[in-house]
Amino acid sequence: MMMVRLVWVFLALVTASVFSVEPVSAVPTADVVVGVWERWEHVLVSGRDYASPCVDVEVRFEAVGPEGQVRKGLGFWDGERRFVFRCAFPSAGEWRWRTTCSDSSNEGLHERTGTVLVIPATGGNLFQARGFLRVSDDRRFQVHSDSTPFLWLGDTCWAAPVHATTDEWERYVGNRAAKGFSVLQVAIAPEWALEHSRSGVAPFLSNLPDISLPNPVYFRELDKKLALANDSGLVVLMVGLMETPYRYPSPEQVAVLSRYVAARYGSFEVVFSPSFDSGIHEAETLAAASAVREAAPDSLVTMHMGTGVGPKFHAEDWLSFDMFQSGHNGGNAAKQSARAVGMPAEVLALPGRKPVVNGEAIYEGDLGCAFDVRRTAWLSFLSGAVGYTAGINEVYAWEENVLALMDAPSSGHVALVGRILRQVPWWLMDPAPGRILNQPEDKSRLMAFALADDRSWGFLYLPVNEEVVLDLRDCVPVFDLLWVSPVTGRWQAGANATSSVRTVLRPPDGGDWVVMFSAPGSPNIARVKEELDRFALSDPERVATIAFGKDSAVDGLVLKSPADGGFVREAFQGVDCVANVNPERNSYFYLDVDDRLAFRESPRRMRVEVRLQSEGPLDGVLLQYDAGGPATVENIYRPVRPSWRRQEGGWTVLGFEVDLPFLGGRQNSGADFRLFLDRRLCRIASARVELEGSE
């Protein structure tokens, strides 16, 4: 890299001396050399102290490129008398910069000048190679500055700025980049995370709720986190400029923090959101948005609104793209699906098209399961969204076992969405809900269909449907079909579909399915097949286990924690375990079997072993499993007593055997079965499930 820079500088010198008719003094004499879109930073030292440096003084920055291009921004206070300004230059050549300070008597900050020699990109990260994000010329989706389409595939790690250690962050970022995620969503310093901060570094030096004096030490650590994410090819969405802390500071305070954060991170690949799960707070929103536009005029700005909140700010010039939240909805699958389908349609019906992203849907955790996550992802993309953000409870809150839970099943399902869509020009698809002729009244079973603008290819998603009836008139005469499992990525070719006013398709089985349509001979299906074969998941053992050590990775079973199944982690007799510390309320232990092992099928038999400890007798403990059939309490929570038990020191192992379990995730929070603990305080060290029978 250094050799490339030296060669480029040498060529610039030779070119200037040979071809210039100006004196030799016109040869580039830049203070520093950086690459296109590489973050450049310069430090100024103030000639005096300020009691409140983020309020009492303002340093503006302007750089002019060789063809008159202009980049503007603000400097930010970085402790003591240090003021820093940063820039990412969009084109090569010599850029000349100048500062102006609101305190014109401060010679350390006012009317400082310099030059930067910007050379063509010579590698580096994705954003240095392709440029920062902007909105496409047709206003439909996001692209890099070189017009390469950008698929927004996000993950929420809200509390990471407050909680994440360096090692945790490095491993998490590497994991998400390897899976194909493209966005990480963080909150600057949410109040609920500050209450049990693991970093021990306060985000503010001022007395809360005064946020006018950010702590440079905290934000320097955040600099490193965001730089690592960008270097790994991940955009960062920073939310909550107007909600930190507490909800909500005055517009004046909001403006101070927003200006500081935007000045500090405008040269990163960062998208800013004034809101974080907000309703409509117009004064605070406008204060934050105006401050961001002042400090980082070239950055994208969106609004991460609360669940179901409509596109209030769609027409505002400062809003780069719309973000909706289909949300958790108390675990109500019908509302989740209806909003994943309906909210993008609402935005797309407005004048003045802008890209639409589902910035938060149901998480895998207390209220939802992996099926809920992948269902809302596919529904969102095929209903007009050009981005989707997933979440896992322990990851968004950045619990101590975050690394163990970051591979929860939904993370793989969302990664699979990205692998499929990136094989086709997904940005050419438009939702076609009117072509589905048999949408069910039950909103949790809503289907979604999208077609390319030339109607020669598209995708259909069936969450739980016996058949779909499509109106395919005005499409290509015949479609090749590819049926893909959104759980495993396994595919099977379907019979050709003849386009008609009533084309009927039936899925291969009772699972959820993605169907790809493509004109015969089109390369789209071939590319998708090749990608799926390349990343084919290995056949899992039909055995799943769960343990509760800090580093115990997901191995086929996921603990669910609905309102009547809350557990806390502790150690007992040297064994990491979970305990229902309020057994009258938390009398159930819920588990969800990874859908890769079984989903809406009927293995002939399921064996369950649970290792637990209680001070009292365990005679009343029952396994309650989903036996299939109509979704009645008798079927979903069918009880069975232990088939056997054994003692292992102070622990008891209970064994259960059940025939023909359904494994459809129909219990609370998407669980497949639960243990009734007879309202006794129990500590559970591990569980094991073995499935036997049909594949």
In the chain, the largest separation of any two C-alpha atoms, in whole Å, equals 97
pLDDT of amino acid 25: 35
pLDDT of amino acid 553: 87
Asked if 217 contacts 201 with a C-beta cutoff of 8 angstroms, the reply is yes
Q: Which long-range contacts (CB under 8 A, 24 or more apart) does 532-535 make?
A: 532/419, 532/420, 532/484, 532/489, 532/490, 532/491, 535/416, 535/419, 535/489
The answer to whether the bond into 351 is cis (omega within 30° of 0) is no
pLDDT under 50 in the chain at which residues?
1-4, 6-28
Collapsing DSSP states into helix, strand and coil, what is residue 173? helix
pLDDT of amino acid 550: 81
pTM: 0.94
Asked if 343 contacts 311 with a C-beta cutoff of 8 angstroms, the reply is no
62, 52, 133, 96: which is closest to 294 by C-alpha? 62
3-state secondary structure 334-361: HHHHHHHHHHHHHHHCCCCCCCEEECCC
pLDDT of amino acid 12: 46
Q: CA–CA separation, 435 vs 455, rounded Å? A: 12
Taking the mean position of all CA atoms in its chain, how far away is CA 176? 9
pLDDT of amino acid 471: 98
How many CB atoms lie under 10 A from the CB of residue 522?
17
pLDDT of amino acid 400: 87
pLDDT of amino acid 539: 59
Burial 240-276 (b: 16+ CB within 10 A, else e): bbbbbbebbbebebbbbbbbbbbbbbbbbbbbbbbbb
DSSP code string of 43-107: EEE-SS--SSHHHH--EEEEEE-TTS-EEEEE-EE-STTEEEEEEE-SS-EEEEEEEEESSTT-T
pLDDT of amino acid 122: 78
pLDDT of amino acid 695: 52
DSSP single-letter state for residue 248: -
- Tokens describing residue 611: 């290792």
pLDDT of amino acid 39: 95
How many CB atoms lie under 10 A from the CB of residue 312?
16
**Non-local CB neighbours of 179 within 8 Å, separated by 6+ positions:** 411, 412, 414, 415
The answer to whether the bond into 248 is cis (omega within 30° of 0) is yes
Asked if 475 contacts 499 with a C-beta cutoff of 8 angstroms, the reply is yes
Asked if 327 contacts 390 with a C-beta cutoff of 8 angstroms, the reply is no
Collapsing DSSP states into helix, strand and coil, what is residue 437? coil
Collapsing DSSP states into helix, strand and coil, what is residue 612? strand
Domains of the chain: 2-122 (2.60.40.10), 153-416 (3.20.20.80), 433-534 (2.60.40), 543-692 (2.60.120.1360)
3-state secondary structure 144-165: ECCCCEECEEEEECCCHHHHCC
pLDDT of amino acid 549: 87
Can you point out the beta strands (E) in 511-641? 513-518, 543-547, 557-560, 568-572, 575-579, 588-593, 605-614, 622-625, 638-640
Q: CA–CA separation, 61 vs 692, rounded Å? A: 68
pLDDT of amino acid 350: 97
